[in-house]
Structure 1
Amino acid sequence: MYADFTLPHKKYLLAVAGAALLFTSGLTHAAKTVYPLTIKNCGRDITFNKAPERVATVGQNSTEILYSLGLAERVVGTSLWFGPVPDAYKAANEKVAVIAQNIPSFEGIIAKKPDLVASQFEWQIGPAGTVASYEQFSELNVPVYTAPADCAKDNEDGGDGVRKGMFDIAMVYQEVSDLAKIFDVQDKGDELIASLKAREAAAKDKIAGMDKNVSAVFWFSSADLQLDPYVAGKFGPAAWIAQTLGVKNVIDSAEEWPTVGWETIAKASPSVIVLGEMSRRRFPADDWQVKLEYLKSDPVTNSSPP
């Protein structure tokens, strides 16, 4: 959903978009999985002797990919939600236990007796994981599959990590392909990837005649409205979306979600501010309307030059 509003001297664009993954039906004939199957993931080899039957998820994106592949019945617990589940998955999701709305505990995950953990971020499970390390799960013979898009970052110091190069949507396709192979549902994986590629192509066609001099900043959230906001860095998914659509991201940091002062942002004079919306409400600024009111009232953002 897109809405625009005008403040003195500045026009902003509000983009409130879900992360739903939709796929169309179609028949393909992919090769069957041969077990034992070894997948390379985040510099590790993880081996499956059969398709997992009890999956715990850490991250909404990981959860929704599994739902998109028709694997909701294999999911025994979810965690780390940012927004409402898309309508297409509501019925299935209601039957799945929620380990935690936000970050789960190691014990909470293990209590579900998973034979696979699908994780969106190494921030939670990884070298400096806030939930656990890979080794802690390995000691219990529980494999962890992490989203390749997150593996591409330097996550050694914890937090959101630092990217050395631009995010590529091919990383998401790799995740879909890997999970489809792990569960031996390659046909559904192929369908989902084809649908996502079609959506990308349609988006490019839609903006073919758009002004090529548009710049933007992506405001994710703020721990406190009196502190510098978390914005999208120059290499992350938001930056990739901007680049793909011919929009310049004014933030030059390689951090995934750096904090940048409003004075610095004002000097960059973005023509568009994209406001993130999360129903999780970890911070007041997770609400786009709170962001909007701040932009209207703050002297810096309310008087930025055009």
Structure 2
Amino acid sequence: MIRLSLAALLLSATAAMAYPVTVKSCDRDVTFDAAPARAISNDVNLTEMMLVLGLRDRMVGYTGISGWKTLDAEMREGVAELPELSSKYPTKEVLAGAEADFFFAGWNYGMKVGGEVTPETVEPLGIKVYELTESCIHIGPKARSSMDDMYNDILNLGKIFGVEPRAEQLVSGWKARLEKATAGVDRSAPLRVFVYDSGEEAPFTAGAYAMPTALIEAAGGKNIMDDLEKSWAEIGWEAVVERNPEVVVIVNYGDVTAEQKIAFMKGNPAFATMDAVKNDRFVVLEYVEATPGPRNIAAVEKLVTGFRGN
């Protein structure tokens, strides 16, 4: 008779007890009878969530990165053995062709409302979808953006893939690091902050339900567009000038560099009266820092330093 090691017995017992598991994904309850074995993630930040949980061996690929962004050295190493199945949003054929059993995506992060790929359209293919919490505002009411959005996704992925201890350890560590980073923040008079993602004729920015609002608040600032009842949206420059930000947070990605965005704002006479422009106060966040994911804590640390003017 073959004797199983204690570790193997414990692992077997844990696996037997763990499933089925049910998690809340936006307004749906999704039940998993076993951990997904052929997962696909969309976008750089969602892919990084999978990698930080040690789930690369459960993945058959990723989508939606090279069509808009480039990978830094850390991410290139993380996905080195994985194929990019689609440079932008995947089709049902792409997901089915990879024989995927799980798709980690979000609304406007790989799926569009009424589009070809939704939880309902891929379910007949045997593919379960978990939706990025931040993106749920696109299909119904949700609470304003908070750090809990990112923590919630990590913890839910931990349950889905049977790696709860790893997920809980990560979240606990991030909370401790965040507390340390923000311990000395003066919140008596929050700095007015504008998030500049892209666009010259009209800026694309973060509203109440976008992750940068939570990052800014954690760092002791106030998003001047936090009354915008949207996630990411295009607005008019007039509102930005009127609200006079003291700091501009630049989201760096795509063909237009952060330096070019800063030069545009500093070179436009219409923005010359803005405190942020007059005092040359810009903080650059990489896309993967500004969207929900493991680098959000580093983003807050960067904002804390930038808000202090260091």
1:39 paired residue number: 23
Query: Structure 1 residue 240 and structure 2 residue 214: aligned?
Result: yes
C-alpha distance in structure 1 between counterparts of 2:133 and 2:190, whole Å: 32
C-alpha distance after superposition, 1:70-97 (max 9, x if no partner): 1111111112236554655532311110
Aligned residues: 260
Aligned position for 1:262: 237
In structure 2, what is the equivalent of residue 26 of structure 1?
none
In 1, Cα distance between the equivalents of 2:261 and 2:179? 31
Where structure 2 has 5 or more consecutive residues not aligned to the other structure, the ranges are: 1-10, 279-310
Moved over 6 A (4+): none
Inter-CA distance 85–241: structure 2 relative to 1 (3 Å threshold):
same
1:300 matched to 2:246? The reply is no
Q: Does 1:112 align with 2:89?
A: no
Does residue 217 (structure 1) correspond to residue 194 (structure 2)? The answer is yes
Residue of 145, 149, 157 corresponding to 2:130: 145
Distance 1:221 1:268 in 2: 18
Distance 2:45 2:196 in 1: 20
Q: State the distance in 2 between where 1:102 and 1:243 align.
A: 31
Matched residues in 1 for 2:222 and 2:247: separation?
Answer: 10
Residue aligning to 2:179 = 201
Distance 1:123 1:209 in 2: 34
Residue-by-residue CA offset, 1:225-266 (whole Å, 9 max, x unaligned): 2x2010111342111122222212111311112222222211
- The higher relative CO (CA closer than 8 Å, separation ≥ 6) is in 1
| 1:37-89 Cα deviation digits (max 9, x unpaired) | 33232222322222111101112222111101111111111122365546555
In the alignment, the residues of structure 1 paired with residue 76 and residue 110 of structure 2 have an alpha-carbon distance, to the nearest angstrom, of: 25
1:76 to 36, 60, 76: 60
TM-aligned CA deviation for residue 267 of structure 1: 1.3
RMSD between superposed Cα atoms in Å: 2.5
Residues 88/124 of structure 1: CA separation in 2 closer, same or farther (3 Å cut): closer
SS of the equivalent of 1:208 reads coil
Tell me how far apart the structure 2 counterparts of residues 289 and 83 of structure 1 sit (CA, whole Å). Answer: 16
Per-residue CA deviation, residues 13-47 of structure 1 (Å, 9 max, x unaligned), is xxxxxxxxxxxxxxxx9x65522333232222322
Matched AA of 1:155? I
Structure 1 portions without partners, runs of 5+: 1-28, 157-162
TM-score (norm 2): 0.75
CA distance in structure 2 between the partners assigned to 1:97 and 1:174 by the alignment: 27
Determine the C-alpha separation between the residues in 2 that align with 1:134 and 1:37.
18
C-alpha distance in 2, partners of 1:115/1:35?
16
The equivalent of 1:25 in structure 2 is none
Deviation of the 1:188 alpha carbon = 1.0
Question: 1:131 deviation in Å?
Answer: 4.3
Task: Provide the C-alpha distance between the structure 1 equivalents of 2:39 and 2:117, rounded to a whole number of angstroms.
Answer: 17
CA distance in 2, matches of 1:259, 1:56: 30
Q: Is the 8 A contact 1:55 1:117 kept in 2?
A: yes
What residue in structure 2 maps to residue 8 of structure 1? none
Letter in 2 for 1:193: V
The answer to whether the Cα contact below 8 Å between 1:123 and 1:130 also exists between their aligned partners in 2 is no
Distance in 2 (CA, whole Å) between partners of 1:188 and 1:96 is 22
Letter in 2 for 1:204: T
Alignment of 1:141-180 (within 5 A): 141-151=126-136, 153-155=137-139, 165-180=143-158
> Which residue of 1 is the match for residue 164 of structure 2?
186
TM-score by length of 1: 0.76
Q: What is the CA-CA distance between 1:123 and the residue it aligns to?
A: 5.8
Q: Which residue of 2 aligns with 1:3?
A: none
Give the letter for the 1:229 counterpart.
Answer: P
Q: Which structure has more helix as a fraction of its residues?
A: 2
Q: Distance in 2 between matches of 1:203 and 1:110?
A: 44
Q: Is the 8 A contact 2:42 2:63 kept in 1?
A: yes
